Amino acid sequence: MGKVNLTLLLAAVAIVIIIAIALIFPLERLGQLYSLLLIFGGLVALLLRSIFAKEVDRRIIFLFIFVAVAAPLLFPITFSEKPTAVVKAVFDRVESLPPGSTVLLSFDFDPAMAPEVQPMANAISRHCLKKGHKVIFMSLWATGQALLTQSLTNTILPEFPEKQDGIDYVNIGYKAGNEGVLNVIVSNFEKMFPTDVNSVPLGEIEIFDDIRSCRDLDFIVSFGGGLPGSKEWVLFVGDPGGVDVAAGVAAVVAPQLYPYYPAQLVGILGGVKGAAEYEFSLKETYPDLKDMDTPGLKMMGPQTLAHIVIISFIVIGNIIYFRGRRKEKGQ
């Protein structure tokens, strides 16, 4: 057996031990400690080794990536996700509105985008209800309605059993027409949404007693970033209606929205990272939400560790390169 194989064998044994720990003892702390030690210890060892300009076998890199992704899934390792200004702005806006304000949350995404966007949509919905705002849920995407219903019935509403449909929140569902819908609801909701999803006429819903159009809303958050998405909400509702709009979008779309911040967008949540930062602030502000589901924060554990691993290997690669060059020169 070669040297590489031996290392790999040892590493594999280490991984099996991790899984065994997870299986046998429900000791999260130990598992976390063990796996972090494994990753960082290994990286330091490789760093030292790189000074002798010894290349690392690609399979060892693979192993590090695997452990960096798997360990935080087994033993949820969360890092402090101090919110950046763009996320903080959204959180502060929801936080600073007086209880009883009306907030509209639009779920403009499809199942493909859902893994990235749904966590933040859930977090903001939770925050709004927690704060006592009245929430109007809607969707500009046909596929968004199902995801909206799923979020409401599976995640959000069970946490707030005291909230009543029509008084504390309402789901007006999806209407076809993309920007056309926005064009209409900026001046009149009822025109586009005669009823909510349960076919209750809007006139009979308490929330809509003093809400005629988007102009009467206190805050709008659009989740998605496709077309139509946050940009359309800004251009067709936020700007003409004078309402504050924030965006929660997939990571790839976020850079395209930055030119609108802070003039036209209150803030932007980009990808899982945005969701994680929001969840972090939420947990910090409301200690009683300690046990809430935080898919964003959970996803960030593997992401952060894997990024650390990749960056470390880039550094190691460069050390090897420069040491190797010096060696060559020396000869």
Number of residues that bind other proteins (CB under 8 A): 68
Residue ranges of E strands in the chain: 102-107, 134-139, 169-174, 219-224, 245-249, 268-270
- Give the Cα separation of 27 and 104 in Å (integer): 42
| 317 near other proteins, judged by CB under 8 A | yes
The answer to whether residue 261 forms part of the interface with other proteins (CB under 8 A) is yes
CA nearest to 148, candidates 175, 181, 167: 175
Distances in whole angstroms, Cα of residue 133 to Cα of each of 54, 244, 321: 60, 15, 58
Between 6 and 45, how does the x/- string for binding to other proteins read (CB under 8 A)? --x----------x--xx----------------------
Q: Binding to other proteins by residue 234, rule CB under 8 A? A: no
- Give the binding range for other proteins (CB under 8 A) out of 32-40, 97-105, 138-146, 176-184: 176-184
Q: For residues 277 and 294, what is the distance between their CA atoms, to the nearest angstrom?
A: 10
The token duo for 14 is 């280490």
Asked if 64 is part of the footprint of other proteins (rule: CB under 8 A), the reply reads yes
Report if residue 54 touches other proteins, rule: CB under 8 A: no
- Tell the residue number behind the tokens 């593997």, with chain if given: 302
- Spatial neighbors of 208 by CB under 8 A, at least 6 apart, are 170, 189, 190, 202
User: How far apart are the C-alpha atoms of 172 and 70, rounded to whole Å?
Assistant: 40
**52 makes contact with other proteins (CB under 8 A):** no
Is residue 60 within 8 Å of 9, Cβ to Cβ?
A: no
The least distance separating other proteins from the CB of residue 83, rounded to whole angstroms, comes to: 9
Q: Which amino acid is at 186?
A: V
Can you list the pairs that 3-9 forms with residues at least 24 positions away whose Cβ atoms lie under 8 Å? 4/57, 4/59, 4/60, 7/57, 7/60, 8/59, 8/60, 8/63
Q: Does 282 bind other proteins (CB under 8 A)?
A: no
Position 141 contacts other proteins (CB under 8 A): no
One of 54, 307, 326, 327 touching other proteins (CB under 8 A): 307
User: CB-wise, 146 or 235, nearer to other proteins?
Assistant: 235
74 binds other proteins, rule: CB under 8 A: yes
- Cβ distance to other proteins smaller for residue 137 or 280: 280
Question: Closest CB to other proteins among 8 and 157?
Answer: 8
The DSSP line for 12-65 is HHHHHHHHHHHHH---HHHHHHHHHHHHHHHHHHHHHHHTTTPPPPHHHHHHHH
Task: Identify residues 182-211 at the interface with other proteins (CB under 8 A).
Answer: 183-184, 186-188, 190-191
Is 166 a binding residue for other proteins by CB under 8 A? The answer is no
Instruction: Decide whether 198 or 256 has the Cβ nearer to other proteins.
Output: 256
CA 13 to CA 24: how far, in whole Å?
A: 16
Q: Is 326 in the site for other proteins (CB under 8 A)?
A: no
Binding site for other proteins (CB under 8 A): 8, 19, 22-23, 56, 58-59, 61-62, 64-66, 69-70, 73-74, 79-82, 84-86, 115-116, 180, 183-184, 186-188, 190-191, 212-213, 236, 240, 251-252, 254-256, 258-259, 261-263, 271-273, 299-300, 302-304, 306-311, 313-314, 316-318, 321-322
